Amino acid sequence: MSTLDKLADFEMDVLKEVGNIGSGNAATALSTLLNKPVDMAVPKVSLVPFEEVAERAGGAEELVMAVFLRVEGEAPGNLFFLMNPVAAKKMLRRLAAMEVEEDLEYSDMELSAIGEIGNILAGSYLSSLADLTKLSLAPSVPAVAMDMAGAVLVYGLMQYGEMGDTALLIETKFLDGGEVLDGQFFLIPDPESFSTIFRSLGVPLE
């Protein structure tokens, strides 16, 4: 039986709470950074097999704007925040009030702003997970790139070796007036880390 099958409804509810609390914290932090209200919809949280991560992002060859971080601490892993490059431009223009070009060329300032937004999201979700599990978790300095979804995952594998077989997917939606800007947040714990997280939540794995 896989790790996914062992999760009871209670444990999934706890992971959903990670998304709910994290998105609330992220909205507050982004509002402070940008000095304007930031609304985020209640996120959709699920667990997906690692091999489906690229597919969930639109396919291995789908072009994405990616923020990649290493999770350090008692349950290390890899963390990706992925957005469609067009949506990322809209996010900068509408949320951060930046003047951006319509094409898919990104300036250093734009990449830096996306990295900071991804960093705030990562910190907010990891803090909520750490609070619920009582584990020490912290994000590394983010790397930002625009590439195909499959290549982004390969980069993570090359940097840190084998990834775990399951990803926590938090589908994030920024609300700005009548427009919805979608992003996907994947936490992929190292192979031994998911068991650490589940044990801290009281999930029997034997």
pLDDT at 1: 44
Q: Name which of 69, 61, 8, 53 is nearest 171 in CA terms.
A: 53
pTM score, whole prediction: 0.85
pLDDT at 40: 86
Hunting for tokens 């091999």 — which residue is that? 51
pLDDT at 201: 78
Token pair for 191: 């192979």
Token pair for 185: 């947040």
DSSP 103: S
pLDDT digits 0-9 by tens, 73-103: 999 999 999 999 988 888 888 777 778 777 7
pLDDT at 73: 95
Token pair for 157: 């594998």
Torsion over CA: 10, 12, 15, 17 (sign): negative
Q: What residues in the chain have per-residue pLDDT under 50?
A: 1
pLDDT at 117: 86
Which of these CATH numbers, 3.40.1550.10, 3.40.50.1220, 3.40.50.300, 3.20.20.60, describes 3-198? Answer: 3.40.1550.10
Q: Where are the domains of the chain?
A: 3-198
* Backbone phi, psi, residue 192, to 5°: -85, -10
pLDDT at 7: 60
* Backbone phi, psi, residue 182, to 5°: -90, 145
Token pair for 41: 């919809």
